[in-house]
Chain A
Amino acid sequence: MIANYGYKDGSGEYYISIDTDKCLQCPVEQACTRACPKNMFEIITDDYDDQVAAIKQAHRRTLAYDCTACKPAGGYASLPCASACTAGAIKHSW
């Protein structure tokens, strides 16, 4: 399943997508939960009883602000969350 967390507002689209099928055989022991400096990831049991990564509820409406430290205006080469997930399950829309 592709789970899209985030929102669209007047300033743009801010979504983090997680391909939760990849979490079923996570190759890095759920490293996303340790890599994010804002501690935004958690492991949940989804509706189909699978253990998958998700963005915590408290961050879902504030992604643009929460991720600013990892996304300086001058640009960035990689993000801690996406780099830690070698399965390539995490994508950012902005």
Chain B
Amino acid sequence: MTTSAFATTAATAGEKKEYWRWEESAWVDETMNWRDAKFITAGIDVGSVSSQAVVVCDGKLFGYSSMRTGSNSPDSARNAIKAVIEKCGMTLDNIHFVVGTGYGRVNVPFAHKAITEIACHARGANFMGGSAIRTILDMGGQDCKAIHCDEKGKVTNFLMNDKCAAGTGRGMEVIADLMQIPIAELGPRSFDVDEEPAAVSSVCVVFAKSEALGLLKAGWSKNKVVAAYCQAMAERVVALLERIGVEKEFFITGGIAKNPGVVRRIERILKLEAVKTKYDSQIAGALGAALFGYTLVQKQGVPAKAAAS
């Protein structure tokens, strides 16, 4: 059921190839009939790089989309939900409760409530990875979060690093462009080296650029430079995780969860495997938001406007 959002777009003749670009995606479960659901809820995660919409029918995942964030949050939110509902003949009026999350959460015009991405990622990870998940690492577009949660997916401890783009999706996109390697190939190619190199000394996207170019000049292969960058990212996020500690089971959400070059190196350092999931790791925040919506609509009932429609 999962589609990879990290596919590359073929460059058309004459256009500059955008190696960082990943494919937008939308999916609905065609075996389900949303009209049978008592409560339909949606979560919209407007991040700095990508926006996701998830629709849940009576607490079950029905559909989702993952789109690139546009120039403003309201349009990005509309674009994300449109990509899901257009696939199944649903309209916004059919959705009983909408929760906004992520960096642009307060600017989702059709949301009934805004909840932070920290709480939503924990809830989403609990659904995707199971109730044994206790530690979540969310590697988002422009920040990185370490979260502990209980068996219900309620946050017990969190830490967020949004000071720079290192260790984030944006940082990976910069490296893809610099190395001219499609972003989906970065992970696999980082293992195609004779010998694992040491991490680059800086994961700061600005310094990493000049360091990477210096290494290429010194005769390193592109794959080796990518390996050194993936290792640096892994070391950096592990340092963040260590501040709150890692309790089993461990789960990774966000776009970088799809990059084995970083994930396997994190696992190597931690000597712990992350729980794998059949779902798209990038939808964790929006999924958690939709599940919060389901809990809220059961408790509070359908908000007035939606009830009238």
Contact = CB atoms under 8 A, between A and B. Distances in A.
Instruction: Say whether A and B bind each other.
Output: yes
Contacts, number: 39
Q: Is the interface of B mostly helix, strand, loop or mixed?
A: mixed
Interface string B62-86: 0000000000000000000000000
Interface residues of A, number: 14
A7 B156 contact: no
A30 interface: no
Contacts of A93: 243
A1 to B, nearest CB: 6
Contacts of B159: 4, 15
Interface in B127-154: 154
Given A1-B156, A15-B243, A47-B155, A7 B163 contact: yes
B161 interface: yes
Contacts of B163: 7, 9, 61
A3 interface: yes
Nearest to A44: B116
A66 interface: no
Given A47-B115, A61-B162, A61-B163, A8 B157 contact: no
B118 A47 contact: yes
Given A47-B116, A47-B119, A48-B119, A13 B243 contact: yes
B98 to A, nearest CB: 16
A2 interface: yes
Given A47-B116, A48-B119, A8 B154 contact: no
- Residue in A3, A7, A47 with the greatest tally of chain B CB atoms within 10 Å: A47
A8 B239 contact: yes
Contacts of A61: 162-163
A10 to B, nearest CB: 9
Nearest to B123: A47
5 contacts: A3-B157, A13-B243, A47-B115, A48-B119, A61-B162
